[in-house]
Amino acid sequence: MNSQFPEATPLGAFTDEELRALIAAGQVVDCLTGDVLLTEGDPGDSMYLLLEGTTVARLSSGHTIRRYEAGSWFGDLSFINPGHRRSATVVATSSSKVVKLDQGTAKTLLESHPRALFALMQRTCAFLVDAERSLVTDLRRRNAELEDTIRRLELTSQRLTREEITARTDALTGLGNRRAFELNLPDFVDRALTLGTGLAVLALDLDHFKPINDSLGHAAGDEVLRGVGQVLMAGVRRTDLPCRVGGDEFLVLLGDLSESAAKMRAEALCKALGTMPHPGDDRGTRITSSIGGTMFVKGEATEDFLKRADEALYAAKKAGRNRVGWA
């Protein structure tokens, strides 16, 4: 082995005689800091032995992928396979001395020092095989890391999805809550405007609900509210959105239907709620509700849309409750 470079470096594996033959057959080049020796994407047929100084290999993105110290070489793949395009740009990072070996060098060595050429080709191929093994190992490691990251992201996504569903759900009734209503309302409006279909909102209150809590307790009131949730979920389509937005206050979005169909749906819900038995009352008293409904008008603000439903609800209450008001 030669004494000029550490044995662990590519050039450290050559004898002094072989290294002298390589340097004599090649072209010695002195480089300044910043000089470009190879350019990514350019076809090549030469390799470089780094005798002094340091260089780096960079991608077009500017990312440095490797650093070379004295005793290293680079560009070996193009030397073995002429015309191969450079995979990176190599730049001198200090004053350096390199030996350029090209196809002419190979012919010269074949005639004058065939043993040195054989050693160069043998060790270059071995170096490339080791590099490929290292690359495969690195790719496997990175793939395992990527799979682990994907699993973590999937678990995080599932957790966030569950948390978001929980954040949008009324725990007592299983309906959407005010957050769900506010988040979904713009989508319902956009769909109505895009498709030119009708959009209705129903504002619903239970009649005389407070006395239930006051006289029978909150457990009885919760039982009634759960029953309302079941009636609303059973009485609307999967594409509709029933929400509990307050104590006994509910809002229902009905998309893709005409005004007459929306009124029929409101009347059906009012009737279905009226069949619910009053807790603690065995005399046939039923739970009733007042509903106010309206259709979305193109160009109006959603605040006006909801306000009109509230006004219709107030009118239904004023007219005697247990009925549907429409605005």
Residues serving a catalytic function are: 248
Count of C-beta atoms within a 10 Å radius of residue 83 = 8
Amino acid at 130: D
Identify whether the C-beta of residue 293 lies closer than 8 Å to the C-beta of residue 203.
yes
DSSP 50-73: EEES-EEEE-TTS-EEEEE-TT-E
Angstrom distance (rounded) from CA 327 to CA 320: 17
| Residue 77: both structure tokens together | 């793949």
Using alpha carbons, list the distances in angstroms from residue 324 to 291, 295, 311. Answer: 5, 14, 12
The β-bridge relationship of strands 36-38 and 89-92 is: antiparallel
**What is the SS3 assignment for 269?**
helix
Q: Residues with Cβ < 8 Å from 104, sequence gap 6 or more?
A: none
Q: Report the half-sphere exposure of 32 (CA within 13 A, side-chain side).
A: 0
Nearest Cα to 47, choosing from 20, 81, 16? 81
- Token pair of 15, please? 């004898």
CA–centroid distance for 100 within its chain: 47
